[in-house]
């Protein structure tokens, strides 16, 4: 298989060390590329640093046009890109298509935000000592960005690194996940078709043991990282003077409140919980993991969830009707298997699923999970839901907050007062009412509290994180 080029300052190149990409479902070769050599990494970083001033002055229409171009080209190549995602990541083709559609939107939103990322003026004359002074505040890029991305959304989470950087005029060096570099490299190709200056974007696969060198490089003052909790926080601790944006993991919870009780309500909640506990085989940072049901609905709701989870078709992710594919590799599937085994040994009951087949793990629901079991206390990152009764909404909120993570929470209620209380009391980056915590619109602020991270993505929010204010004070008289 011909090696896919890597992108050094907008130019396609090859490294010397091969990187073979394996299809997680059948172990076939999904593609091949190369790791960037030390010399190529050096040129990518040097080019980003060299172009930083020019990038910060790029007119908004140039930044927006480049972003619109990528959005349009992804739309033209939609099916091809979806198949590439399925091949390198193993996610079902129907979900891969959703990811491409989302990435098209991510670039389009970024183009729109670039057009309106404008200075704000303040007339300072409200203060008697400041008459005749005007402050003009503009946001300026903090400098070249190092974007590090995970395997689970190999296209759209790379888009969430690149698009806001371009939107604010910051060069970016992207280091994709070693398991899934191909979609990121495709973005490198599409960006090379634009009028952006050459050093603006590089996409450089490098092995994990060489990533800390990139993180430490002083020419990349911003590190925007999406990935696991320990790696994220170790990066932040290793570069305390840098700006770090950390989008990390969680054990997202959904609470079904007593008022969510009609036939339609219960069917909706059960369908959404079954679907989003298992989509991408649970490999999403906001996949539903812990389900709490308040009051008397528990047995009914759990029975519905179990039926729906049992009906999810798993298997070959290239088949149109398969909704649950494999985990990313055998080690991941074996870890899920061992965590479920530990929980069962400690008293948990398997209501459905509970078996591993190679790299795949069956969609699984566990009840009576003892406190502290890894399947609920840690990020399972597999197709495993835990279900627990709670006596009240208050107890449900306490259960959601009883976690070292805090990405998003789902609260199934019709009661606006409960929704506002959830918003006040849940220690998470986002509360989703009437739905699962897995809801994400790419243009909304998104991120976590506690161990789940620091900083926000979502185009406008990310653009703020990649910039700082610079004030110009003018005398008007
Ligand atoms: P990971 O932490 O293993 O890897 C993420 C990236 O970090 C990869 O590119 C990897 O090569 C790189 N990396 C590894 N060691 C490094 C080091 N020492 N220095 C610098 N970079 C290093 O995560 P993963 O397994 O690819 O992704 C799954 C994790 O990502 C889960 O925890 C998931 O919850 C999280 N995630 C979070 C979000 C979010 O937006 N909050 C979204 C998706 C995934």
pLDDT at res. 196: 98
The response to whether residue 238 sits with its C-beta less than 6 Å from ligand 1 reads: no
Reported as a single tens digit per residue, the pLDDT across 217-266 is 999 999 999 999 999 999 999 999 999 999 999 999 999 999 999 999 99
Residues 67-88 have pLDDT tens digits of: 999 999 999 999 999 999 999 9
What is the predicted pLDDT for the residue at 152? 98
Across the chain, mean pLDDT equals: 97
Instruction: Identify the active-site residue in 99, 113, 257, 285.
Output: 285
| Residue 432 pLDDT class (50, 70, 90 cuts) | very high
Strand partners, 89: none
Q: Is 285 a pocket residue for ligand 1 (Cβ < 6 Å)?
A: yes
CA of 462 to the centre of ligand 1 (A): 18
Q: What is the 3-state secondary structure (H, E, C) of the chain?
A: CCCCCEEECCEEECCCEEEEEECCCCCCEEEEEEECCHHHHHHHHHHHHHHHHHHHCCCHHHHHHHHHHHHHHHHHCHHHHHHHHHHHHCCCHHHHHHHHHHHHHHHHHHHHHHHCCCCEEEEHHHCHHHCCEEEEEEEEECCCEEEECCCCCCCHHHHHHHHHHHHHCCCEEEECCCCCCHHHHHHHHHHHCCCCCHHHEEECCCCHHHHHHHHHCCCCCEEEEECCHHHHHHHHHHCCCCEEEEECCCCCEEEECCCCCCHHHHHHHHHHHHHHHHHHHHCCCCCCCEEEEEHHHHHHHHHHHHHHHHCCCECCCCCCCCCECCCCCHHHHHHHHHHHHHHHHCCCEEEECCCEECCEECCEEEECCCCCCHHHHCCCCCCEEEEEEECCHHHHHHHHHCCCEECEEEEECCCHHHHHHHHHHCCCCEEEECCCCCCCCCCCCECCEECCEECCECHHHHHHHCEEEEEEEEECC
- For residue 325, is pLDDT > 90? yes
Section 424-447 average pLDDT: 98
257 is catalytic: no
What average pLDDT does this structure show over 170-174? 98
Q: Which of 231, 239, 246, 430 to mutate to test the pocket of ligand 1 (most atoms within 8 A of CB)?
A: 231
Predicted confidence (pLDDT) at residue 1 exceeds the cutoff of 80: no
Q: Is 429 in the pocket of ligand 1 (CB under 6 A)?
A: no
pLDDT at 449: 98
The per-residue pLDDT for range 375-413, each reduced to its tens digit, is 999 999 999 999 999 999 999 999 999 999 999 999 999
ipTM: 0.97
* CA 381 to each of CA 212, 283, 349, 409: distance values in angstroms, whole numbers, following the listed order: 24, 5, 19, 16
Mark whether 362 is an active-site residue.
no
* Catalytic residue chosen out of the listed positions 247, 337, 362, 464: 247
Does the beta carbon of 152 sit less than 6 angstroms from any atom of ligand 1?
Answer: yes
- pLDDT for residue 119: 93
With a 6 Å cutoff on the Cβ, whether 235 touches ligand 1 is yes
User: Which of 33, 106, 147, 150 most suits a substitution to test ligand 1, by most atoms within 8 Å of the C-beta?
Assistant: 150
Look at residue 219 in the predicted model and tell me its pLDDT: 98
Q: Is 211 in the pocket of ligand 1 (CB under 6 A)?
A: yes
- When pLDDT is cut at 50, 70 and 90, the band that residue 307 belongs to is very high
pLDDT at residue 8 greater than cutoff 90: yes
> Which residue has a Cα nearest atom 31 of ligand 1?
228
């Amino acid at each position: 298989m011909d090696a896919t080029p890597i992108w050094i300052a907008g130019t396609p190149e090859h490294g010397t060390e091969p990187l073979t990409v394996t299809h997680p479902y059948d172990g076939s070769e999904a593609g091949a590329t190369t790791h960037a050599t030390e010399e190529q990494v050096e040129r990518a970083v040097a080019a980003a640093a060299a172009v930083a001033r020019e990038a910060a002055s790029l007119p908004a229409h140039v930044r927006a046009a480049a972003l619109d171009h990528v959005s349009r080209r992804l739309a033209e190549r939609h099916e091809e890109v979806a198949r590439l995602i399925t091949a390198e990541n193993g996610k079902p083709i129907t979900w891969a298509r959703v990811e491409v559609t989302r990435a098209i939107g991510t670039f389009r939103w970024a183009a729109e935000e670039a057009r309106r990322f404008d200075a704000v003026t303040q007339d300072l004359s409200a203060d008697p000592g400041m008459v005749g002074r005007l402050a003009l505040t503009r946001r300026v890029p903090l400098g070249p960005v190092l974007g590090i991305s995970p395997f689970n959304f190999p296209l759209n989470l790379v888009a969430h690194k690149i698009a806001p950087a371009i939107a604010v005029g910051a060069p970016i060096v992207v280091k994709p996940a070693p398991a899934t570099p191909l979609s990121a490299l495709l973005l490198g190709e599409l960006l090379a078709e634009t009028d952006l200056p050459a050093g603006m974007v590089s996409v450089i696969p490098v092995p994990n043991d060489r990533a800390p060198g990139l993180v430490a490089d002083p020419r990349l003052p911003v590190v925007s990282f999406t990935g696991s909790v320990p790696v994220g926080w170790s990066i932040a601790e290793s570069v305390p003077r840098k700006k770090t944006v950390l989008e990390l993991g969680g054990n997202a919870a959904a609470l079904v409140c007593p008022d969510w009780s009609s036939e339609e309500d219960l069917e909706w909640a059960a369908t959404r919980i079954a679907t989003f506990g298992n989509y991408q085989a649970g490999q999403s940072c906001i996949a539903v993991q812990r389900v709490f049901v308040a009051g008397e609905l528990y047995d009914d709701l759990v029975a519905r969830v179990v039926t729906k989870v049992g009906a999810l078709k798993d298997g070959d992710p290239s088949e149109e009707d398969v909704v649950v594919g494999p985990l990313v590799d055998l080690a991941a599937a074996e870890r899920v298997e061992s965590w479920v085994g530990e929980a069962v040994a400690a008293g948990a009951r398997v209501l459905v699923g509970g078996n591993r087949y190679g790299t795949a793990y069956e969609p699984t629901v566990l009840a009576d999970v003892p406190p502290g079991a890894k399947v609920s206390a840690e990020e399972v990152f597999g197709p495993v839901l835990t279900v627990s009764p709670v006596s009240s909404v208050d107890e449900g909120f306490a259960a959601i907050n009883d976690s070292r993570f805090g990405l998003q929470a789902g609260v199934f209620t019709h009661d606006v007062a409960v929704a506002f209380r959830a918003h006040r009391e849940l220690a998470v980056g986002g509360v989703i009412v009437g739905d699962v915590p897995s809801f994400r619109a790419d243009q909304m602020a998104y991120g976590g509290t506690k161990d789940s991270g620091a900083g926000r993505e979502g185009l406008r929010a990310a653009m703020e994180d990649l910039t700082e204010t610079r004030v110009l004070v003018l005398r008007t008289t």
